[in-house]
Structure 1
């Protein structure tokens, strides 16, 4: 009797596994009938400084219902090049978008002719997916010099893209190529809510016989940090965290980090605390968006066959190393991003430590859709096996590249008296973080045994920074003069290889 019971248990377990696999099998089979995919990308949303703290619904509905990646990184801490990396699965040195300006190839003719045609939504569309986009696309999108509002990138069935950079009110959308102007009425115009409404409308109007891909890109928590009216008084007692590298002098770091006033003046402290609160306030509307979306998918009985990704384009800093606010830096607060995923066969309420990159999103989404198109020539790799190991074995990369190209000019004055190309505004007590000599490339090693970062600057000093994050998680001490020269040579050679890698060559270097 015991043996029979054991056999029955094994049969039932096998049947359950087959049902689970079949459920995801539809999501991996490719073509019409594949699983649904939703990608939510916030703007300047840090993971390192408490950026997910106000996102209680998102953490519950996605993270606790799926996987939370605690070592998620952007390969470049700046909006436009990072978003291009998400769309193409490529490092910036391969998609060639280096900065937020047209001169930096953001929405340039080169991007429109080459980058957009190889972005993963094109492949999803060819495979039968219904595709929908709403929100911030690229910083220069919609401007006359960037093709105007009539330009709709290939691969999208429905297109509701913000013209230019993040705004909450008084903006222009390209609605399927037609100009649509919005004012400052909360009910009609608040962009985060409008994105949510249009996404839900698309779900109501979709063809239920075909799979869908939604990409929602709300402006929060990017400047100008305008919260919805009902959230303006929230977090009144919250201040930017004062631990770690907050207001620490950076005497052993590159030129830019040696410019800020230290200790920070009261004007900076008041300003960054206000920014920190307002960023959290804007995120509450994103939390509402996630809740409405998950509820809708559940009502449609599509939730259990839909993968939902939540991430950001880059991190942010508020006072670290006396820099009041911005991104663009090589440190953990700027390169770490939130990443939560739920979906068929994704383990429930798990925390995953394997490092994943924003260039891995595109190959992961194509993997889910069952699309194996080698012509896409992506540098990233699918992390589906990491969060759904019942499907396939996979191993994480031990190291990866982070690169950034500054281009702003400050006429030699580090206090930024004049705004240069690509620098939209200069906040109180800021320094020129978009300076052309804030250009660097780093190899980040995170393999269970080592947790290190090696960076080289393209400046007159040929400056090098090295950190051992096991003993120095806040990157307070540059140990370049203490490290064995043989180790530095290995790091240098690894960096040179990564900076010129392409496609499978990038993945081969990281195994």
Structure 2
């Protein structure tokens, strides 16, 4: 173990904690990712500030919330003149590298800065033979994305200066939609027997309007390409367009007495359906099969990286992190995708190993957030944590010295009100160790005090212990008045702390609850 450890940060895209076997859901096996947890710590309450790819990545890099770094949506890219963790580590003498999914914009104003070496996918990137961009331009790289990213990481490790520590960001594209597994994994989970979530048939009763309005339902919003099916030629009779101007269409649902024939794009096998319930389960199994097949390639490549560290004697001197840029719905509430502050989307998997410092096989249920990652890296590197960063070093949590005054709330804000693809509503809120308060302000512009949405604002309050699936909104329950007031206090305090201006009127709400 050295005084200044190497830092290997491995991040996938849309990898739900439930699809990592050490989290105990029983869906799949990820022995290599599990190894990080077995030899280190698993965080069970690590949360994202904004459950969408680009803003989450900006918060991870800068250690700031999105109203500060200004990356609030998929279309607001990072200003690469901003300071961030790689720049600080580079200044402190670290070699820095970034390989894989950047997703913070292209061109001189947005491409990676602060890295000695970088090679990234433009936009989402492709699974097979992807185009990759680097300081010397663009090139098509033959192979499968997860393998290619790992090849580049291992090549950097072989060429690094052995007398200086390194900070490397290994960013996988997988398992992002549309799910395209490598042929070597297409046999996995092909028996159609994956467990169906208890909430798959959720009717969205007693919830905010946003839940029923979202276009993220496996039953009706997945495309032929998502499920590896051949899209027939035709127009609306083939299925609803995913979005205007694109070819992809959603697989239609069945009406009573109807028939639907679906063809496997790889094998030509035809599946015939006359029962809507049977079709819905087929879509779920097909979605989960392909999603978990792409995860298998990530797990293999995590194993390659860990084996390389072992082979060159770097294991004891390297902090290894595995995480995802946010959570993901795996059929819970009938959904795929993310965006919402509901638990499956809010929770990020986070596994970390640092031999001799972090106790093997340890688990933490203390609250952590993605804005905390950058301060943590700087802390372990012995570098100053700049005062613009809003996160907190997780070192006390990881080394089990955190006291009772450890941060007790996570803050989340989603800004992309009613986007064309998913129709998710704008919202923000806080989650503590037991309760969650969400305000659906339904304002597409995010202007304080204004409401330009079609739906009135709504509040949701969930008891995440008694109601872990978040099926019962208690915001209007008189028995929960004191809890609502306490959570409102936490929301107001957190927004004041980080400088995010509220859209809600706390005084009016407290008056309605009898709190003032």
The aligned counterpart of 2:324 is 312
Equivalent-residue separation in structure 2 for 1:245 and 1:296 (angstroms): 41
The aligned counterpart of 1:458 is 441
Equivalent-residue separation in structure 2 for 1:270 and 1:453 (angstroms): 33
Q: Unaligned stretches of 5+ in structure 2?
A: 220-275, 443-454, 500-516
Match of 2:369 among 351, 354, 357: 357
Superposition deviation, residue 118 in structure 1: 1.6
Is residue 474 of structure 2 the alignment partner of residue 479 of structure 1? yes
Q: Tell me if the contact between 2:15 and 2:175 (Cα under 8 Å) persists in the aligned partners.
A: yes
The aligned counterpart of 1:443 is 430
Match of 2:139 among 180, 183, 188: 180
Is residue 124 of structure 2 the alignment partner of residue 165 of structure 1? yes
The aligned counterpart of 2:423 is 433
Match of 1:230 among 184, 194, 206: 184
Superposition deviation, residue 191 in structure 1: 0.9
Equivalent-residue separation in structure 2 for 1:329 and 1:343 (angstroms): 32
The aligned counterpart of 2:84 is 119
TM-aligned CA distance change 1:369 to 1:260, over 3 Å: closer
The aligned counterpart of 1:385 is 396
Q: Tell me if the contact between 2:19 and 2:292 (Cα under 8 Å) persists in the aligned partners.
A: no
Q: Tell me if the contact between 1:49 and 1:333 (Cα under 8 Å) persists in the aligned partners.
A: no
Superposition deviation, residue 240 in structure 1: 5.3
Equivalent-residue separation in structure 2 for 1:158 and 1:301 (angstroms): 23
Q: Tell me if the contact between 1:54 and 1:283 (Cα under 8 Å) persists in the aligned partners.
A: no
Q: Tell me if the contact between 1:152 and 1:176 (Cα under 8 Å) persists in the aligned partners.
A: no
Match of 1:329 among 330, 340, 343: 340
Query: More deviation in 91-100 or 202-211?
Result: 91-100
Match of 1:283 among 295, 301, 309: 295
Q: Tell me if the contact between 1:68 and 1:349 (Cα under 8 Å) persists in the aligned partners.
A: yes
| CA deviation profile, 1:165-192 (whole Å, cap 9, x unmatched) | 142124321122411124xxxxx32111
| CA deviation profile, 1:346-388 (whole Å, cap 9, x unmatched) | 101111211211111111111110112334x222111112222
Is residue 272 of structure 2 the alignment partner of residue 271 of structure 1? no
Equivalent-residue separation in structure 2 for 1:161 and 1:257 (angstroms): 35
What pairs up with 1:15-54 in 2 under 5 angstroms? 23=1, 26=3, 34-48=4-18, 53-54=27-28
Superposition deviation, residue 49 in structure 1: 6.0
Q: Tell me if the contact between 1:48 and 1:336 (Cα under 8 Å) persists in the aligned partners.
A: no
- 1:156 match: secondary structure: coil
| CA deviation profile, 1:436-455 (whole Å, cap 9, x unmatched) | xx011111011xxxx00001
Superposition deviation, residue 394 in structure 1: 8.4
The aligned counterpart of 2:263 is none
Match of 2:77 among 99, 103, 106: 106
Equivalent-residue separation in structure 1 for 2:208 and 2:195 (angstroms): 24
The aligned counterpart of 2:94 is 129
Coordinate RMSD, CA, aligned? 2.5
Equivalent-residue separation in structure 1 for 2:192 and 2:399 (angstroms): 37
TM-aligned CA distance change 1:137 to 1:290, over 3 Å: same
TM-aligned CA distance change 1:477 to 1:38, over 3 Å: same
Q: Tell me if the contact between 1:36 and 1:213 (Cα under 8 Å) persists in the aligned partners.
A: yes
The aligned counterpart of 1:15 is none
TM-aligned CA distance change 1:270 to 1:258, over 3 Å: same
Equivalent-residue separation in structure 2 for 1:203 and 1:380 (angstroms): 29
Superposition deviation, residue 401 in structure 1: 0.7
Give the TM-score taking structure 2 as reference length: 0.77
Equivalent-residue separation in structure 2 for 1:177 and 1:91 (angstroms): 32
Is residue 297 of structure 2 the alignment partner of residue 301 of structure 1? no
Matched residue count = 425
Q: Tell me if the contact between 2:65 and 2:390 (Cα under 8 Å) persists in the aligned partners.
A: yes
Q: Tell me if the contact between 2:8 and 2:168 (Cα under 8 Å) persists in the aligned partners.
A: yes
Is residue 58 of structure 2 the alignment partner of residue 84 of structure 1? yes
Q: Tell me if the contact between 1:247 and 1:263 (Cα under 8 Å) persists in the aligned partners.
A: no
Superposition deviation, residue 200 in structure 1: 0.5
Is residue 358 of structure 2 the alignment partner of residue 346 of structure 1? yes
Is residue 141 of structure 2 the alignment partner of residue 200 of structure 1? no
Is residue 491 of structure 2 the alignment partner of residue 495 of structure 1? yes
Equivalent-residue separation in structure 2 for 1:329 and 1:204 (angstroms): 41
Superposition deviation, residue 496 in structure 1: 2.7
Q: Tell me if the contact between 2:20 and 2:29 (Cα under 8 Å) persists in the aligned partners.
A: no
| CA deviation profile, 1:269-310 (whole Å, cap 9, x unmatched) | 322321111111111111111111111111111110100000
The aligned counterpart of 2:258 is none
Query: More deviation in 355-364 or 41-50?
Result: 41-50
Give the TM-score taking structure 1 as reference length: 0.78
Superposition deviation, residue 320 in structure 1: 2.5
Equivalent-residue separation in structure 1 for 2:193 and 2:213 (angstroms): 24
Q: Unaligned stretches of 5+ in structure 1?
A: 1-22, 27-33, 183-187, 410-419, 424-431, 504-511
Name whichever structure is richer in helix by fraction. Answer: 1
Equivalent-residue separation in structure 2 for 1:481 and 1:211 (angstroms): 54
The aligned counterpart of 1:141 is 105
| CA deviation profile, 1:293-336 (whole Å, cap 9, x unmatched) | 1111111111101000000011111333233x211111111111
